[in-house]
Amino acid sequence: MFYSPSPNRRKSWLRLLTVGHKKLMVAGSLVLVLFVVMLSVLGVYAYRAMQYDMSRVGAGLVNNSLFDSQGCLIASLAADDACVVSREELPQHLINAFVAREDERFFEHNGVVISSVLRSVLRNLKSMRYEQGASTITMQLTRNVYELSGKSMDRKMLEAMLAQRIERHFDKYTILQQYLSRIFYGQNCYGVKAAARHYFGKSVCELNLVECATLAGLVRAPSLFNPITSMENAMQVKKETLQRMLECEMITQEEYHQAVQNPIVLRRGTSAQDGCSSYSVMWARHELEGIQSEVPEHSGGISVVSSLNLSLQQYVENAVEAALTAVERPGAYPEAWLKDMTPEMADATRTAYSRLRRPEGLKVRGANNDLKGLLQCCALVVDARRNQRGKILALVGGRSAVDGIDRWQGKVRPGRAAAPFLFCCACLPGGEDMHIVARSTEVTGERLGYDVVRSFYESLKLRHLEIPEREQALYLYNGMFQMRRLDLARLLFCLQNEGRGYRLSMVNAIWNSNRQLIYNYEPEKSPEYIRRESATAISSLPPFRVTEGEPVTMNETLPEGCGQWTMVFRNRGVCTFVWMGFDDASHPLATARELRPLLSRASMNLAREIFDKARAELRAQQQKTEAAKPTPAS
């Protein structure tokens, strides 16, 4: 008889396991899978981190550079202290302030604090979005050196791996030196050297406890905690930094109380902005500061592509000096002003101008480059073409950038040059054009009333405008108040462009050191800044001079020795502004009778010369662009 074993006597080995054992095996398998996945992920990020060049961390800093619209280098934007601060220059208080504020375990970890990373991951997983980072100083340096942007776990993991590589290649003080020398401190300051000079007028080694705590607190939000723009916020963040230093036992209780009570003393006499190589650099630095909030986080080493035309820029610089020399020296009449004249007419014009009397004692520029007491001139060329309106093509802010003064930021009394803004009030809803008396701003203003005129100027939202009080209403009507030359130019430009609120700007694009585009100018869809009907009605009234077939011009002598103001404008073309005069309106010759006709003619001739040159440059540029376009196949 064939014997077959009973299936009940043969049990699967699984039946030998209890329920608890089975659960334990499942859990162990999951842990093993997670461990393998984690190792794989870490391996991938470690491999990616190996592709980065570590020599960039210890390399010198790359200067910020300014280029024209065709990619030609204009100048360096960096100050002369754009270099790595040495270990000997770092005060202990500065080291302690940054370590306490940013990374209290800096001298202990290997680039990453695991507990902080886990806490950050859990927080982000809980909210299902990137809310919290866990950056050490080394990780922040990594982000600056390799331009890692965006907020994501991918970037954070790569940062962590790179930070550990950096820690293996460099000692702690090298890492700290590179970090302090690269980060942004606001006010266009990159690096602690520039910040120490700009805010406190001293070298890094001279910084005291209060100043060190201020800089350490500043870097988290340079625009919010800036002592220049918000002393209250700066004092608060200074106190928080000192509190952290006290908790980390880096300062005593007595040092803490004394530093908390001491004010932040700003000394900006030796600012990092001083010593600019050109007026275009001054303007670019000022504009970069204004758009900083629109630019992603980056280190130094940016390339700024501007709207400037380098050829035109160089021409304008030479033309401005030639025009001023013509005022100072009787026989120095620029040949460009004789364009399209017959030889006889040119001789007569040159002779008539040379016979004009010069004020006695008028200083002439010499070979020693002494700028004190000289006549000055600033010029601005603005693109008025569609989609390019408001872009700066060339600018000059004086006779030499050595003095560090950009006269477009300086103030004058606009006088009759501000009459168009007064006339706009008469074209507001409820007003009547009959209120305008073009021959008299005073009569026009009195018919409109102080409240109407003041309300209009307030609607323009000019931060630097000084509006006279009611008791001085005539000053308001007659333009006898202070406003920046730049604001006057911008308002006149907007008025001639149907009241659209174009800003006058230079920066077209910004590239980081990895050649990544981090800012790109978009043509403005400018809102109505001055009511369109008002701007259109006023754009052809005096003091504008309008001749058919010719550009719109304005040539006004400003009151109380504030110089000469000239504008030449063609719609969808070019607009030029020129100011000539003395820096100090109280200069003995500023109101000299002999100077007025000289400045009037020189300013007008210069503005027309620059206008014609700018139009020729734009035409040549357009022809070059069209010639470079591929022709369609026949």
Sequence-ordered list of residues with C-beta below 8 angstroms from that of 428, at least 6 positions apart, any chain: 452, 456, 531, 534
Does 11 map to a domain?
no
Q: How far apart are the C-alpha atoms of 16 and 220, rounded to whole Å?
A: 61
Sequence-ordered list of residues with C-beta below 8 angstroms from that of 75, at least 6 positions apart, any chain: 65, 66, 277, 278, 280, 281
**Are residues 142 and 272 both part of a single domain?**
yes
Question: Cβ(557)–Cβ(598) under 8 Å?
Answer: no
Does 466 map to a domain?
yes
**Are residues 291 and 406 both part of a single domain?**
no
pLDDT at 299: 56
Does 34 map to a domain?
no
pLDDT at 131: 44
Q: Which of 261, 284, 300 is the last residue of a domain?
A: 300
**Are residues 275 and 339 both part of a single domain?**
no
Does 385 map to a domain?
yes
pLDDT at 480: 95
Provide the residue type at 467 as one letter: I
Number of structural domains, the chain?
A: 2
**Are residues 294 and 319 both part of a single domain?**
no
**Are residues 272 and 315 both part of a single domain?**
no
**pLDDT tens-digit map of 363-420:** 988 767 778 889 999 999 999 998 889 999 999 999 988 888 889 999 999 999 999 9
**Are residues 289 and 416 both part of a single domain?**
no
Does 290 map to a domain?
yes
Provide the residue type at 466 as one letter: E
Beta strands in 230-340 (DSSP E): 303-306
**pLDDT tens-digit map of 528-551:** 888 888 899 899 899 999 998 899
**Are residues 376 and 280 both part of a single domain?**
no
SS3 397: coil
Percent of the chain whose predicted confidence (pLDDT) is above 70:
85
* Least confident piece of the model among 136-140, 235-239, 431-435, 517-521: 431-435
Closest CA to 570 of 549, 586, 591: 549
pTM of the predicted model over 0.85: no
**Are residues 184 and 315 both part of a single domain?**
no
Report the 10 Å Cβ neighbour count for 438.
Answer: 13
Q: Which of 300, 315, 331 is the last residue of a domain?
A: 300
For residue 162, the domain's CATH number is 1.10.3810.10
Mean pLDDT value of segment 256-272: 78
Question: Cβ(266)–Cβ(228) under 8 Å?
Answer: yes
For residue 426, the domain's CATH number is 3.40.710.10
Does 468 map to a domain?
yes
Does 9 map to a domain?
no
Q: Is the pLDDT of residue 453 over 50?
A: yes
Q: Is the pLDDT of residue 1 over 60?
A: no
Q: Which of 277, 300, 323 is the last residue of a domain?
A: 300
**Are residues 268 and 319 both part of a single domain?**
no
Domain residues for the domain of 350 are 307-357+371-595+603-623
Confidence of residue 552 (pLDDT cuts 50, 70, 90): very high
Mean pLDDT value of segment 227-247: 91
**Are residues 286 and 384 both part of a single domain?**
no
**Are residues 418 and 500 both part of a single domain?**
yes
pLDDT at 478: 93
Closest CA to 419 of 544, 545, 537: 544
**pLDDT tens-digit map of 2-51:** 445 555 544 555 555 565 666 777 777 777 777 777 777 677 777 777 87
**Are residues 313 and 292 both part of a single domain?**
no
